[in-house]
Amino acid sequence: MSLSRMGVVGAGQMGRGIAQVLATAGLDVVLVDVDVAAAQRGLETLARALEGQVRKGKLDPDARDHIVARVCVGPDLASFGGVDMVIEAASENAALKQELFGRLDRICPPHAILASNTSSLSITALSAHTQRPDKVIGMHFMNPVPVMKLVEVIRGLPTSDDTYAAVAELAGVLGKTIVTSRDIPGFVVNRILMPLVNEACFALYEGIATAEDIDKGCVLGLNHPLGPLALMDLIGLDTTLAILEVLHRELGEDKYRPCPLLRQYVAAGWYGRKVGRGFFTYAG
Protein backbone atom coordinates (compact mmCIF):
# COMPACT_ATOMS: atom_id res chain seq x y z
CA MET A 1 0.00 0.00 0.00
CA SER A 2 1.36 3.45 -0.87
CA LEU A 3 -0.09 5.12 2.25
CA SER A 4 2.43 5.11 5.08
CA ARG A 5 2.59 8.59 6.62
CA MET A 6 -0.74 9.62 8.10
CA GLY A 7 -2.10 12.78 9.68
CA VAL A 8 -5.02 12.82 12.11
CA VAL A 9 -6.81 16.07 12.99
CA GLY A 10 -8.62 16.14 16.32
CA ALA A 11 -7.40 14.14 19.30
CA GLY A 12 -10.78 13.49 20.94
CA GLN A 13 -12.21 10.03 21.41
CA MET A 14 -12.36 9.34 17.66
CA GLY A 15 -9.07 10.93 16.59
CA ARG A 16 -7.02 9.12 19.20
CA GLY A 17 -8.77 5.82 18.38
CA ILE A 18 -8.03 6.32 14.68
CA ALA A 19 -4.39 7.15 15.49
CA GLN A 20 -4.22 3.94 17.54
CA VAL A 21 -5.52 1.65 14.78
CA LEU A 22 -3.30 3.31 12.16
CA ALA A 23 -0.18 2.93 14.31
CA THR A 24 -1.13 -0.64 15.23
CA ALA A 25 -1.24 -1.41 11.50
CA GLY A 26 2.35 -0.10 11.18
CA LEU A 27 1.65 3.40 9.83
CA ASP A 28 3.34 6.55 11.10
CA VAL A 29 0.89 9.08 12.52
CA VAL A 30 1.08 12.79 13.26
CA LEU A 31 -1.75 13.80 15.61
CA VAL A 32 -2.81 17.45 15.66
CA ASP A 33 -5.48 19.18 17.74
CA VAL A 34 -6.35 22.87 17.93
CA ASP A 35 -5.65 22.41 21.64
CA VAL A 36 -2.07 21.05 21.86
CA ALA A 37 -2.64 19.91 25.45
CA ALA A 38 -5.65 17.87 24.21
CA ALA A 39 -3.42 16.23 21.59
CA GLN A 40 -0.91 15.31 24.30
CA ARG A 41 -3.72 13.95 26.48
CA GLY A 42 -4.97 12.00 23.47
CA LEU A 43 -1.58 10.35 23.07
CA GLU A 44 -1.47 9.52 26.79
CA THR A 45 -4.97 8.00 26.64
CA LEU A 46 -3.93 5.97 23.60
CA ALA A 47 -0.88 4.68 25.52
CA ARG A 48 -3.11 3.79 28.51
CA ALA A 49 -5.48 1.86 26.22
CA LEU A 50 -2.55 -0.16 24.88
CA GLU A 51 -1.27 -0.71 28.40
CA GLY A 52 -4.65 -2.26 29.23
CA GLN A 53 -4.16 -4.71 26.35
CA VAL A 54 -0.68 -5.58 27.65
CA ARG A 55 -2.12 -6.28 31.11
CA LYS A 56 -4.73 -8.59 29.57
CA GLY A 57 -2.00 -10.45 27.70
CA LYS A 58 -3.36 -9.36 24.29
CA LEU A 59 -0.32 -7.29 23.34
CA ASP A 60 3.32 -7.72 24.21
CA PRO A 61 5.16 -4.76 25.74
CA ASP A 62 7.58 -4.44 22.79
CA ALA A 63 4.71 -4.17 20.32
CA ARG A 64 3.08 -1.57 22.59
CA ASP A 65 6.28 0.49 22.59
CA HIS A 66 6.52 0.33 18.79
CA ILE A 67 2.89 1.43 18.37
CA VAL A 68 3.28 4.37 20.74
CA ALA A 69 6.56 5.37 19.04
CA ARG A 70 4.77 5.60 15.68
CA VAL A 71 2.46 8.37 16.92
CA CYS A 72 3.76 11.88 17.45
CA VAL A 73 1.91 15.04 18.37
CA GLY A 74 2.30 17.92 15.93
CA PRO A 75 1.98 21.55 17.06
CA ASP A 76 -0.32 22.52 14.16
CA LEU A 77 -1.51 21.58 10.68
CA ALA A 78 1.86 22.61 9.20
CA SER A 79 3.10 19.27 10.59
CA PHE A 80 1.28 17.58 7.67
CA GLY A 81 3.73 18.75 4.97
CA GLY A 82 4.91 15.17 4.30
CA VAL A 83 1.82 13.00 4.79
CA ASP A 84 0.14 10.66 2.29
CA MET A 85 -3.30 11.06 3.84
CA VAL A 86 -5.11 13.00 6.55
CA ILE A 87 -8.13 11.73 8.47
CA GLU A 88 -9.99 14.66 9.98
CA ALA A 89 -11.82 13.92 13.26
CA ALA A 90 -12.43 17.41 14.66
CA SER A 91 -15.75 18.48 16.19
CA GLU A 92 -18.93 17.96 14.14
CA ASN A 93 -19.31 21.49 12.77
CA ALA A 94 -19.65 22.25 9.06
CA ALA A 95 -17.95 25.66 9.03
CA LEU A 96 -15.04 24.38 11.13
CA LYS A 97 -14.49 21.34 8.89
CA GLN A 98 -14.79 23.34 5.67
CA GLU A 99 -12.18 25.80 6.90
CA LEU A 100 -9.95 22.90 7.98
CA PHE A 101 -10.20 21.25 4.55
CA GLY A 102 -9.18 24.50 2.84
CA ARG A 103 -6.12 24.71 5.08
CA LEU A 104 -5.25 21.02 4.74
CA ASP A 105 -5.42 21.39 0.96
CA ARG A 106 -2.86 24.20 1.05
CA ILE A 107 -0.50 22.33 3.44
CA CYS A 108 -0.60 18.66 2.38
CA PRO A 109 1.37 17.30 -0.60
CA PRO A 110 -0.64 17.24 -3.85
CA HIS A 111 -0.94 13.44 -3.82
CA ALA A 112 -2.40 13.30 -0.29
CA ILE A 113 -5.94 12.03 0.29
CA LEU A 114 -8.10 14.15 2.62
CA ALA A 115 -10.67 12.05 4.49
CA SER A 116 -13.27 13.16 7.02
CA ASN A 117 -14.64 11.08 9.87
CA THR A 118 -17.77 13.25 9.89
CA SER A 119 -20.94 11.53 11.13
CA SER A 120 -23.33 13.47 8.95
CA LEU A 121 -21.86 16.36 6.97
CA SER A 122 -21.54 16.59 3.20
CA ILE A 123 -18.29 15.21 1.80
CA THR A 124 -19.06 16.97 -1.48
CA ALA A 125 -19.26 20.34 0.32
CA LEU A 126 -15.93 19.66 2.06
CA SER A 127 -14.32 18.74 -1.27
CA ALA A 128 -15.47 22.07 -2.75
CA HIS A 129 -13.19 23.84 -0.25
CA THR A 130 -10.13 22.19 -1.81
CA GLN A 131 -8.34 22.16 -5.15
CA ARG A 132 -8.34 18.34 -5.07
CA PRO A 133 -12.02 17.36 -4.82
CA ASP A 134 -11.27 13.97 -6.41
CA LYS A 135 -9.06 13.13 -3.40
CA VAL A 136 -11.66 14.00 -0.73
CA ILE A 137 -13.67 11.17 0.82
CA GLY A 138 -15.58 10.17 3.95
CA MET A 139 -14.05 7.52 6.18
CA HIS A 140 -16.51 7.11 9.04
CA PHE A 141 -15.14 4.97 11.87
CA MET A 142 -17.38 3.68 14.64
CA ASN A 143 -16.85 4.28 18.35
CA PRO A 144 -14.75 2.86 20.02
CA VAL A 145 -12.52 2.74 16.94
CA PRO A 146 -10.14 -0.06 18.04
CA VAL A 147 -13.11 -2.32 18.85
CA MET A 148 -15.71 -1.67 16.15
CA LYS A 149 -15.22 -3.49 12.86
CA LEU A 150 -17.19 -1.19 10.57
CA VAL A 151 -16.00 1.77 8.52
CA GLU A 152 -18.48 3.58 6.29
CA VAL A 153 -16.84 4.91 3.15
CA ILE A 154 -18.63 7.90 1.64
CA ARG A 155 -17.99 9.02 -1.89
CA GLY A 156 -18.58 12.70 -2.59
CA LEU A 157 -19.75 13.57 -6.09
CA PRO A 158 -16.18 14.24 -7.34
CA THR A 159 -14.42 11.44 -5.39
CA SER A 160 -12.30 9.42 -7.83
CA ASP A 161 -12.23 5.65 -8.15
CA ASP A 162 -8.52 5.71 -7.20
CA THR A 163 -9.26 7.53 -3.94
CA TYR A 164 -12.08 5.13 -3.12
CA ALA A 165 -9.87 2.11 -3.88
CA ALA A 166 -7.01 3.44 -1.72
CA VAL A 167 -9.32 4.06 1.24
CA ALA A 168 -11.02 0.68 0.88
CA GLU A 169 -7.58 -0.94 0.86
CA LEU A 170 -6.53 1.04 3.94
CA ALA A 171 -9.67 -0.10 5.78
CA GLY A 172 -8.69 -3.70 4.99
CA VAL A 173 -5.16 -3.13 6.30
CA LEU A 174 -6.73 -1.81 9.54
CA GLY A 175 -8.80 -5.00 9.81
CA LYS A 176 -12.07 -3.16 9.17
CA THR A 177 -15.05 -4.08 7.02
CA ILE A 178 -16.52 -1.34 4.87
CA VAL A 179 -19.96 -0.38 3.71
CA THR A 180 -20.17 2.21 0.97
CA SER A 181 -22.66 5.05 1.19
CA ARG A 182 -23.77 7.84 -1.08
CA ASP A 183 -23.10 11.32 0.24
CA ILE A 184 -26.52 11.91 1.82
CA PRO A 185 -26.67 13.40 5.37
CA GLY A 186 -26.12 10.75 8.06
CA PHE A 187 -25.07 8.17 5.45
CA VAL A 188 -26.32 4.68 6.40
CA VAL A 189 -25.62 4.09 10.09
CA ASN A 190 -26.55 7.45 11.61
CA ARG A 191 -29.56 7.80 9.33
CA ILE A 192 -30.94 4.74 11.11
CA LEU A 193 -29.43 5.19 14.58
CA MET A 194 -30.28 8.85 15.21
CA PRO A 195 -34.11 8.54 15.13
CA LEU A 196 -33.80 5.61 17.56
CA VAL A 197 -31.65 7.36 20.15
CA ASN A 198 -33.64 10.59 19.76
CA GLU A 199 -36.86 8.64 20.41
CA ALA A 200 -35.32 7.21 23.60
CA CYS A 201 -34.65 10.79 24.66
CA PHE A 202 -38.30 11.72 23.96
CA ALA A 203 -39.42 8.71 26.06
CA LEU A 204 -37.40 10.10 28.96
CA TYR A 205 -38.61 13.68 28.29
CA GLU A 206 -42.24 12.54 28.32
CA GLY A 207 -41.75 10.64 31.59
CA ILE A 208 -42.62 7.26 30.09
CA ALA A 209 -39.93 5.47 32.09
CA THR A 210 -36.71 6.10 33.93
CA ALA A 211 -33.43 6.32 32.02
CA GLU A 212 -32.43 2.97 33.53
CA ASP A 213 -35.64 1.27 32.37
CA ILE A 214 -35.53 2.78 28.86
CA ASP A 215 -32.04 1.37 28.40
CA LYS A 216 -32.91 -1.94 30.08
CA GLY A 217 -35.87 -2.28 27.70
CA CYS A 218 -33.60 -1.95 24.67
CA VAL A 219 -30.83 -4.17 26.06
CA LEU A 220 -33.10 -7.00 27.18
CA GLY A 221 -36.00 -6.47 24.79
CA LEU A 222 -34.15 -5.62 21.57
CA ASN A 223 -30.89 -7.40 22.35
CA HIS A 224 -28.88 -4.19 21.93
CA PRO A 225 -25.44 -4.39 23.58
CA LEU A 226 -25.89 -0.90 25.02
CA GLY A 227 -29.06 1.09 25.76
CA PRO A 228 -29.73 4.14 23.57
CA LEU A 229 -29.21 6.66 26.38
CA ALA A 230 -25.90 5.06 27.37
CA LEU A 231 -24.97 4.98 23.69
CA MET A 232 -25.63 8.74 23.40
CA ASP A 233 -23.45 9.24 26.47
CA LEU A 234 -20.71 7.31 24.66
CA ILE A 235 -21.09 9.18 21.36
CA GLY A 236 -21.29 12.53 23.19
CA LEU A 237 -24.57 14.42 23.56
CA ASP A 238 -23.02 17.43 21.80
CA THR A 239 -22.08 15.27 18.83
CA THR A 240 -25.50 13.54 18.83
CA LEU A 241 -27.28 16.91 18.80
CA ALA A 242 -25.01 18.20 16.01
CA ILE A 243 -25.79 15.12 13.88
CA LEU A 244 -29.55 15.40 14.48
CA GLU A 245 -29.45 19.09 13.57
CA VAL A 246 -27.75 18.27 10.26
CA LEU A 247 -30.31 15.54 9.48
CA HIS A 248 -33.24 17.78 10.46
CA ARG A 249 -31.96 20.78 8.51
CA GLU A 250 -30.74 18.96 5.41
CA LEU A 251 -33.50 16.35 5.05
CA GLY A 252 -36.27 18.58 6.43
CA GLU A 253 -38.16 15.77 8.16
CA ASP A 254 -39.72 16.09 11.62
CA LYS A 255 -38.56 12.59 12.50
CA TYR A 256 -35.07 14.05 12.99
CA ARG A 257 -36.20 16.96 15.24
CA PRO A 258 -33.84 16.93 18.24
CA CYS A 259 -35.59 16.27 21.55
CA PRO A 260 -35.72 19.44 23.72
CA LEU A 261 -34.28 17.45 26.63
CA LEU A 262 -31.21 16.66 24.54
CA ARG A 263 -30.78 20.36 23.82
CA GLN A 264 -31.11 21.12 27.53
CA TYR A 265 -28.48 18.57 28.53
CA VAL A 266 -26.08 19.96 25.92
CA ALA A 267 -26.79 23.51 27.15
CA ALA A 268 -25.88 22.32 30.67
CA GLY A 269 -22.58 20.92 29.39
CA TRP A 270 -23.69 17.37 30.21
CA TYR A 271 -22.04 15.89 27.14
CA GLY A 272 -21.85 12.30 28.41
CA ARG A 273 -18.91 10.10 29.29
CA LYS A 274 -16.26 12.54 28.13
CA VAL A 275 -17.26 14.98 30.89
CA GLY A 276 -18.43 12.35 33.39
CA ARG A 277 -22.13 13.24 33.14
CA GLY A 278 -24.86 12.77 30.58
CA PHE A 279 -28.01 10.73 31.02
CA PHE A 280 -25.94 8.76 33.51
CA THR A 281 -22.94 9.72 35.62
CA TYR A 282 -19.47 8.23 35.26
CA ALA A 283 -16.70 8.07 37.85
CA GLY A 284 -13.27 9.35 36.88
Contact 145, 20 (CB under 8 A): yes
Query: CA–CA separation, 78 vs 264, rounded Å?
Result: 38
Give the closest residue to 27 by CA, choosing from 57, 1, 6.
6
- Using DSSP's 3-state secondary structure scheme, residue 187 falls into coil
The CB-of-188 to ligand NAD minimum distance in angstroms stands at: 13
Q: Which residues contact 53 (CB under 8 A, 6 or more apart)?
A: 59, 64
Q: Which residues contact 225 (CB under 8 A, 6 or more apart)?
A: 219
Give the closest residue to 134 by CA, choosing from 153, 169, 161, 165.
161
> What is the distance, to the nearest Å, from the Cα of residue 35 to the centroid of all Cα atoms in its chain?
17
The CB-of-125 to ligand NAD minimum distance in angstroms stands at: 14
Contact 100, 116 (CB under 8 A): no
Nearer to ligand NAD, 27 or 126 (CB): 126
Helices 228-235 & 189-205 angle (0-180, nearest 10): 120
The CB-of-238 to ligand NAD minimum distance in angstroms stands at: 7
Q: 24-52 in b/e burial notation, b at 16+ Cβ within 10 A?
A: bbebbbbbbbeeeebbebbbebbbeebee
The CB-of-96 to ligand NAD minimum distance in angstroms stands at: 5
Q: What one-character-per-residue DSSP string does 189-221 give?
A: HHHHHHHHHHHHHHHHHTTSS-HHHHHHHHHHH
Largest separation between any pair of C-alpha atoms in the chain: 55
By the criterion CB under 6 A, which residues form the site for ligand NAD? Answer: 9-15, 33-35, 38, 89-92, 96, 100, 117-119, 140-141, 143, 235-236, 239, 274
The CB-of-20 to ligand NAD minimum distance in angstroms stands at: 13
Q: Active-site residue numbers?
A: 119, 140, 152, 190
The CB-of-30 to ligand NAD minimum distance in angstroms stands at: 12
Nearer to ligand NAD, 34 or 59 (CB): 34
